[in-house]
């Protein structure tokens, strides 16, 4: 007996619903988060319920097609549920190990990003090669904390050679600075103690010693670590004496090393500024032969007025063979180099002993600078313990102040010196006029250039008016002058 039509419609609807449920479960198995062990049981329950419904409804339906589920796993080989369901399809079922975590077969780590990987997945990847596994932080810290192999002294010296050299140089530089500074100060104080204290040469010949008027005025003025100055005044024929001590740069290590190649000595220079009326036409210089030639070429006064004397004045003893005299005339040279000076310093026998401290003498009344009439003495400074060796040299300073201050030229010598100074004055005047003329021409050229630049910026109308005005001025200037007389 055929079933009524009102009963068949619900059966068809139930079948469609079951098919839709199968399709949804097969699609849902591809997403992450589903457990594979739940899917067969739910599918079996659905099939059982559908069989019960079919038996109750007596429907002759074809069996549903087999459903296969594709599985995506993080490991390179890809497996499907069909091979697990049909073991006969696997040619080597003994070599395939069972999956200990069936719930992770459907985990796709490329599907969602930012989700932490479960611990089971990490343990499942332990079969990967050792080089692809991440390093253990605790192992790295232990490796870093492991003590390094101690290096020997030779290795340490080689490793820090530059630093050791720099620190050693700085230490040597600082030590040398203080030791060199003390040595220079000791030499300067030894000289002042010997020649500028009570009952010394300068104390007996000058009324004022030092840079001030008080009793506690310091004798020496320190201008640097290697430059010291001494001043004395209060003597006839001169305005004062300035002594400048130029020491070796003992405080500078680099300069000290350079002096090993180019040696240098401590020197002292006395400059005596003479009064205008106290010094006559005197120009003479004494130095070693090579130094004398250099002075004659470099010093302007000696170059203009003096020359190197080839022979000694007639009937007089002369200086040592190592020395040379540059003078304006033999008369002046003979009068300045007296027998007392020859016996004490510049003579042949005396110079053997005093020659190592003597450098030069230079007297001039035409010196280029702020003062024209100056006596200059230059000597070598001995060390602090042998300062008495230059006593005779220092005694030359007050001796020549009195000698030059009282000296008067003869009429014959004065006529020659006057003619030479007149000629030199005329040459200097011509040079000054040439400099002035050159300065005026330069200023005129600059003014003309400025005017041309200003005219270049003017307009054509302004230029036309200016040219017309200049032409009218030239016409008036060239026109004859006419006098008009009123009757």
User: Is 280 a residue whose pLDDT tops 60?
Assistant: yes
Residue 2 lies inside a defined structural domain of this protein: no
Residue 385 lies inside a defined structural domain of this protein: yes
pLDDT tens by residue, 326-378: 999 888 999 999 999 999 999 999 999 999 999 999 999 988 888 889 999 99
Average pLDDT over residues 378-386: 93
pLDDT tens by residue, 15-72: 777 877 777 666 555 544 444 444 444 444 444 444 444 444 444 445 555 554 444 4
Rounded to an integer, what distance in angstroms lies between the CA atom of residue 139 and that of residue 159?
Answer: 30
Average pLDDT over residues 276-289: 91
Percent of the chain with pLDDT over 90: 37
* pLDDT, greater one: 375 or 127: 375
Neighbours of 26 (CB within 10 A): 15
Residue 72 lies inside a defined structural domain of this protein: no
Residue 117 lies inside a defined structural domain of this protein: no
Tell me what the pLDDT averaged over the chain comes to: 77
Rounded to an integer, what distance in angstroms lies between the CA atom of residue 30 and that of residue 48?
Answer: 24
pLDDT tens by residue, 80-101: 443 333 444 444 444 444 454 4
Residue 360 lies inside a defined structural domain of this protein: yes
Lowest mean pLDDT of 83-97, 175-189, 301-315, 335-349, name the range. Answer: 83-97
Residue 310 lies inside a defined structural domain of this protein: yes
Rounded to an integer, what distance in angstroms lies between the CA atom of residue 316 and that of residue 332?
Answer: 13
Tokens of 299: 């010093």
Domain count, the chain: 1
Which structural domain, as residue segments, surrounds residue 272? Answer: 165-414
| Model confidence pTM above 0.75 | no
Residue 177 lies inside a defined structural domain of this protein: yes
Average pLDDT over residues 177-205: 93
Residue 192 lies inside a defined structural domain of this protein: yes
Percent of the chain with pLDDT over 70: 70
Q: Tell me, what's the pLDDT at 363?
A: 94
Q: Is residue 216 within 8 Å of residue 258, measured between CB atoms?
A: no
Angle at the Cα of 335 from the Cα atoms of 330 and 338, rounded to 5 degrees: 120
């Amino acid at each position: 007996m055929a079933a009524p039509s009102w009963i068949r419609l619900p059966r068809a609807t139930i079948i469609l619903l079951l098919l839709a449920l199968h399709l949804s479960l097969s699609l849902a198995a591809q997403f992450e988060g589903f457990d594979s062990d739940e899917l067969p049981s739910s599918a079996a329950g659905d099939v059982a319920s559908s069989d019960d419904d079919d038996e109750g409804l007596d429907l002759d339906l074809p069996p549903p097609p087999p459903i296969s589920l594709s599985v995506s796993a993080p490991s390179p080989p890809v497996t499907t549920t069909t091979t697990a369901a049909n073991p006969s399809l696997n040619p080597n079922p003994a070599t395939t190990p069972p999956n200990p975590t069936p719930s992770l077969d459907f985990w796709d780590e490329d599907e969602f990003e930012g989700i932490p990987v479960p611990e089971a997945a990490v343990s499942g990847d332990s079969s990967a090669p050792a080089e692809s596994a991440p390093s253990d932080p605790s192992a790295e810290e232990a490796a870093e904390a492991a003590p390094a192999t101690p290096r020997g002294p030779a290795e340490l010296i080689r490793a820090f050679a530059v630093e050791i050299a720099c620190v050693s140089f700085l230490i040597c530089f600082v030590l040398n600075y203080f030791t060199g500074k003390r040595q220079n100060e000791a030499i300067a104080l030894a000289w002042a103690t010997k020649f500028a204290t009570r009952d010394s040469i300068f104390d007996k010949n000058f009324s004022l010693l030092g840079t001030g008027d008080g009793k506690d005025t310091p004798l020496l003025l320190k201008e640097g670590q290697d430059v010291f100055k001494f001043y004395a005044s209060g003597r006839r024929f001169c305005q004062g004496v300035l002594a400048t001590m130029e020491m070796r740069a003992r405080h500078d290590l680099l300069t000290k090393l350079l002096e090993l190649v180019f040696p240098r000595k401590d020197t002292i220079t006395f400059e005596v500024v003479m009064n205008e009326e106290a010094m006559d036409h005197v120009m003479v210089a004494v130095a070693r032969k090579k130094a004398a030639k250099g002075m004659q070429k470099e010093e302007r006064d000696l170059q203009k007025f003096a020359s190197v004397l080839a022979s000694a004045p007639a009937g007089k003893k002369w200086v040592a063979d190592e020395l040379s005299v540059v003078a304006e005339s033999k008369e002046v040279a003979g009068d300045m180099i007296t027998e007392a000076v020859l016996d004490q310093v510049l003579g042949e026998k005396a110079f053997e002993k005093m020659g190592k401290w003597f450098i030069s003498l230079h007297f001039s009344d035409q010196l280029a600078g702020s003062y024209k009439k100056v006596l200059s003495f230059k000597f070598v400074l001995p060390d602090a313990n042998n300062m008495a060796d230059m006593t005779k040299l220092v005694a030359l300073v007050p001796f020549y102040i009195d000698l030059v201050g009282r000296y008067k030229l003869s009429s014959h010598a004065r006529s020659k010196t006057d003619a030479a100074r007149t000629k030199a004055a005329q040459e200097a005047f011509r040079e000054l006029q040439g400099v002035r003329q050159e300065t005026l021409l330069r200023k005129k050229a600059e003014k003309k250039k400025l005017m041309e630049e200003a005219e270049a910026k003017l307009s054509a109308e302004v230029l036309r008016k200016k040219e017309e005005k200049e032409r009218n001025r030239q016409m008036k200037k060239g026109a004859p002058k006419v006098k008009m007389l009123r009757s």
